[in-house]
A and B are shown apart, each in its own frame.
Chain A
Amino acid sequence: MSQKGLLIDVTACLGPSCNKCVVACKQQNNLPDGIEEKLSWRSFTVLQKQNGQYVRKLCMHCEHPSCVAVCPVGALAKKETGAVVYDVQKCMGCRYCMVACPFEVPTFEWNEWNPRIRKCTLCTGRIEQGLPTACAAACPTEATLFGDRETLIAVAEARIRRNAEKYQRRVFGLFEVGGTSVLYLSAVPFDVLGFPKKLTEEVPPEIPWHILQQVPHVVMLGAVVLGGSYWLYRRREEVAKLEAQMKAEKGHGVHEGGHHDA
């Protein structure tokens, strides 16, 4: 199956007066009703007002997800469809995914005795059946489009071309952190919409991975240094013992003159 994604055109969003995407998401995922400002176990998507502009936030479904890379037990996975999904059966609740996510997406059931990580699944069940995500199906305008990532990129670029004076000349998510499956179009700069400023095209989890690849070298080098040091220490002791022996044999009755200790 091809890589799916969402295109979110912030300029076409009707804001909280509509709110259909949020409601549809809550129904799809059996989440409690209510309007929240932040992502949490209660809502996998929210409409945030950022500097007068409404912007919908949800999991970006990164092409190279930090959460997937850092989870020690592989409880998070990137599917062929592009969806980043969570397997509660494997999770230990270490919350490294939350700390590592560049977009602050995964959330936690802080008041449950057996808590889960909660986040948008890109409606993985629906999209595998060929349906659009619940939020995209509910959107009355073209603010949320579901489709193949490649197609969405073409649509986004066409919208920018058609309306060059309106849009930022950039599709957010095309290259950030190595690319995301959720893409954004906006009239205002993306950091004004509350997206992190310092994102580069570098894939963040590549950094620890490069370091981890040094582990075999560290182990080998360390073993050689420590083993070598031990050998030296034993050798020095042996030599000292031998020298003492020789001195005792040879030097019996002879004065120490000129002879020095090892």
Chain B
Amino acid sequence: MRKDGNVLLRPWPLIATAFIIAAAAIAVHRYIHGIGSVTNLTDASAWGLWIGIDILSGIALAAGGFQIAAAVYIFGQKKFRPIVRMSILTAFMGYLMFIAGLLVELGRPWNIWHCIVYWNVHSPLFEVAWCVMLYTTVLALEFSQVIFDKFGWKRMQEIFHKVSVPLVIAGALISTLHQSTLGTLFTAMPSKLDPLWYSPILPVLFFFSCIAAGLAMVIVESGLSKRFLKHEAPHHLMVSVSKGLFLALGVFAVLRFADLATRGALKLIFANRYETPFFWLEIFLFIVLPVLLLTNKRTRLAPRGLFAASFSVVLGLVMHRMNVVTTGFASVNQGYFPSWQEFVISIAFVMAGFVIVGLIARYLPVLPKEEAVVPTGAREDELEGYVKVGWSV
């Protein structure tokens, strides 16, 4: 029996609920009085926090889904099976939150379907739009397996088994394009975007940073699920994931600085400019701190150390994307800083994502059988009924 009626009185659900209600109220205001009524966006800074967090960062952090799926289904790394469904669920939720975010961010969201009928193949954003539609479909199909298992639909399970590999390959290809094209968006502004962030290889930088951030998110989520779902993926798996994370961080770091050097932008990194601290905050969170933590054997092997390194990567990724979309345009946008309403909306989307992932993980077979999903604070006699929601490896 389920007896967590008091769940709403615990701090996190309460905070999440408060943010989501506040965000809904702000959204209503925005749909009546316009985007300008709740944001600090202006003609000179037409993109801000919502693009930086909900869209650029959200998509990058969802990159764990296609990576873990490819590792298991394509590269035969079966040991990652216990986390594959959670990774796909996270990616799916990331994309759904992204689309929900667009409905707030776009000026004319009722026209969102126009990218299906009005084509402009020259636009990177057109490609992004198609990648979103296609990959969300792939994720929905990949996730459908969980539903088939839950209700024991044998025929559908068989069909899924047959198409799973092509699906995962398609997912990996579309993701690669989507992640890199988000970088391509900004290659169109060579004269506006600051040299610390502008680069003709932005698509490559976006790709490698999403590889790192996606894996970091897998580790962070495992930590969160330990805290909130009383379920934890085996620690040795997370250590394996962190090796991939470390490698991707290394590649990114080398590319990032080689690119700065090639373009002669290295002289700017210590320049006395508005941009400099933002650049270093990004480098510290995304590269320096995680690399330090991951090269130290003691922190790397400790759950807390690994979580800290991964969380730092996540924050660093957000910082990089925010820098590309706001700090990098400081010379034209005269120091945009988001309004509190923008923060509330963005935080609410992140929280809603976690709440939905948490609920799905409780009721659907997303987590492996060995470790049952147990509601927070459940007593021994309440455990019955939760054990069987697991799935066979």
CA distance A237 to B173 in the complex (A): 24
Least distance between B5 CB and chain A CB atoms (Å): 40
Q: Does B155 contact A (CB under 8 A)?
A: no
Given contacts A104-B332, A113-B34, A230-B74, whether A95 and B121 have CB atoms under 8 Å apart is: no
Interface pick from B104-112, B146-154, B229-237 = B104-112
Report the bound CA distance from A230 to B164 in whole Å: 12
List of B residues within 8 angstroms of A111 by Cβ: 33-34, 36-37
In the bound complex, residues from chain A placing their C-beta under 8 Å from that of B112 are: 92
B32 contacts partner chain A, Cβ-Cβ < 8 Å: yes
Q: Which residues of B contact A198 (CB under 8 A)?
A: 190-191
A92 interface neighbour in B106, B189, B190, B329, Cβ under 8 Å: B106
How long is the Cα–Cα vector from A233 to B329 in the complex, in angstroms?
A: 46
CA of A108 to CA of B35 in the docked complex: distance in angstroms?
A: 10
Q: Is B106's CB under 8 angstroms from A93's CB?
A: yes
Bound state CA distance, A72 and B120, in angstroms?
A: 5
A204-B190 in contact given A93-B106, A93-B107, A209-B122 (Cβ < 8 Å): yes
Nearest chain A CB to B242 CB, angstrom units: 22
Chain B, range 266-299, C-beta contacts under 8 Å to A: none
CB < 8 Å: which of B176, B189, B200 contacts A99? B189
Measured as residues with beta carbon below 8 angstroms from the partner, the interface class of chain A is 35 or more
| Interface: A28 (CB within 8 A) | no
**B22 contacts the other chain (Cβ, under 8 Å)?**
no
User: Could you give, for residues 98-139 of chain A, a 1 whenever the CB lies within 8 Å of some chain B CB and a 0 otherwise?
Assistant: 111010101111111111000000000000000000000000
Q: A95-B107, A112-B34, A229-B75 are in contact. Are A196 and B122 (CB under 8 A)?
A: no
Are A72 and B125 closer than 8 Å at their CB atoms?
yes
Complex-state Cα separation, A72 to B102, whole angstroms: 14
What is the interface residue range for chain B against chain A? 35 or more
Q: Does B247 contact A (CB under 8 A)?
A: no
Q: A69 at interface (Cβ–Cβ under 8 A)?
A: yes
For residue A94, CB closer than 8 A to chain B, the reply is: yes
Nearest opposing residue in chain B for A96, CB measure: B125
A90, B111: Cβ atoms closer than 8 Å: yes
For chain A, residues 211 to 243, give those with C-beta under 8 angstroms from any C-beta of chain B: 211-212, 215, 218-219, 222-223, 226-227, 229-230, 233-234, 236-237
Whole-angstrom CA separation of A226 from B109 in the bound complex: 36
B180 surroundings in chain A (CB, below 8 A):
218
- Are B188 and A207 neighbours in the complex by a CB distance under 8 Å? yes
B38 to chain A, nearest CB (A): 10
Q: Which 6 interchain pairs have the tightest Cβ spacing?
A: A93-B107, A110-B36, A233-B76, A93-B108, A98-B46, A72-B125
Given contacts A69-B123, A95-B107, A226-B172, 17 further A-B contacts (CB under 8 A): A71-B120, A73-B126, A75-B118, A92-B106, A92-B114, A95-B46, A95-B47, A102-B189, A107-B43, A111-B37, A208-B184, A212-B121, A215-B177, A218-B176, A226-B173, A227-B169, A237-B76
